[in-house]
Amino acid sequence: MAGPGSGGPEGVEGGKSRFDDIYCGPDPRAYFRRLAPLEYEIPHHAQPVFRQAATERAALDEGSTHGPAVLDVCCSYGINAALLNHDVTLAEMCERYTSPGSRTLSTAELRASDKAFYAARRRPDPVPVFGLDVSAPAVQYALEVGLLDAAFTDDLEQGSPSPRLRSALADVGLITLTGGGSYVTVRTFTALLTGARRPVWVDAFVLRTVSYQPIARTLAVHGLTTTVDVSRTYPQRLFTDEREQRYAIAAVRALGGDPTAHEENGRFYTLHYESRPDAPRQPVSRPHRDGGGAAPGPG
């Protein structure tokens, strides 16, 4: 674990520790081993929200030849796809990939075991899930064990969607995001929304240290209204060290949020942003700008 002020072996960008080395392993073990002690929990909180959104979004397209797909952005090893379509919890996945028994398996053995594990837990009403992540080994693993129906490694921060992704976007009806709000920006969302052919909903859990306003404005250009209930916060993970905590507290304050009883207690917290073509609710008006915060809607 990194010592205070060092930023640690995982590196630091913009004050938040980075874990780039665990995103590219051949299977999810290093990912869970590193994040488990930090009590990474945001996909657990997203699970019921994404299930509900996927069900509601699918109902809109009832009668069409095939239902809308979910596109999980920054999908990594398909964690949200696993939680969406399988009777499994994040705690069970964490136990599975950090248990002493799993350490002795080769990646091929783990892959075969995972394939059977997820097949046995497949829910009766799975929705198609596409994954987008710049880590080829991670999405490849998720594809091979049956968590993703299609996977894409396009880096939309750097370039345009490939023809294959462009064609897949025609099927996407819901975009989900956890743990990626520090990596993807308006560039990625502009590319995705520009390529959409069906009405697209977006459900994103984003750290209170990051402003969602630029993305919400971009989504507004594409006809989506974004709402957020700032009274509802979701813990993401423990800080790696005091330096990261100091950064987070300052970042939340800079966005007009209050870190008391949140980041001051040692964890990152997120807000859930929901973007819909016809917002069922008015955007929540907030006394401060963001990060715990501000109305992210247009303007």
Residue from the set 27, 41, 114, 133 that interacts with ligand SAM by CB under 6 A: 133
Residue from the set 42, 83, 127, 210 that interacts with ligand SAM by CB under 6 A: 42
296 contributes a contact to ligand SAM by CB under 6 A: no
Stretch that binds ligand SAM, among 50-58, 70-78, 140-148, 249-257 (CB under 6 A): 70-78
Q: In terms of DSSP H, where are the helices of the chain?
A: 20-23, 29-35, 42-60, 79-85, 90-98, 100-103, 107-120, 136-144, 163-169, 186-195, 213-221, 242-254
179 contributes a contact to ligand SAM by CB under 6 A: yes
151 contributes a contact to ligand SAM by CB under 6 A: no
End-to-end Cα spacing for the chain: 41
Nearer to ligand SAM, 180 or 297 (CB): 180
Amino acid letter for position 75: C
| C-alpha dihedral, 189 to 193 to 199 to 203, nearest 10° | 0
Structure tokens at 242: 């005091």
Nearer to ligand SAM, 153 or 258 (CB): 153
Query: One symbol per residue from 187 to 226: x for binding ligand SAM (CB under 6 A), - otherwise; what is it?
Result: ----------------------------------------
CA–CA distance, 199 with 222 (Å, rounded to integer): 10
Rounded least distance, CB 275 to ligand SAM, Å? 18
CA–CA distance, 85 with 59 (Å, rounded to integer): 16
157 contributes a contact to ligand SAM by CB under 6 A: yes
Rounded least distance, CB 282 to ligand SAM, Å? 29
* Length of the chain (residues): 299
Stretch that binds ligand SAM, among 6-14, 74-82, 189-197, 253-261 (CB under 6 A): 74-82
Nearer to ligand SAM, 50 or 117 (CB): 50
At 280, give phi and psi (nearest 5°): -70, -25
Rounded least distance, CB 74 to ligand SAM, Å? 3
Residue from the set 16, 17, 23, 145 that interacts with ligand SAM by CB under 6 A: 23
DSSP states of 45-80: HHHHHHHHHHHHHHHHTTTSSSPPEEEEET-TTTHH
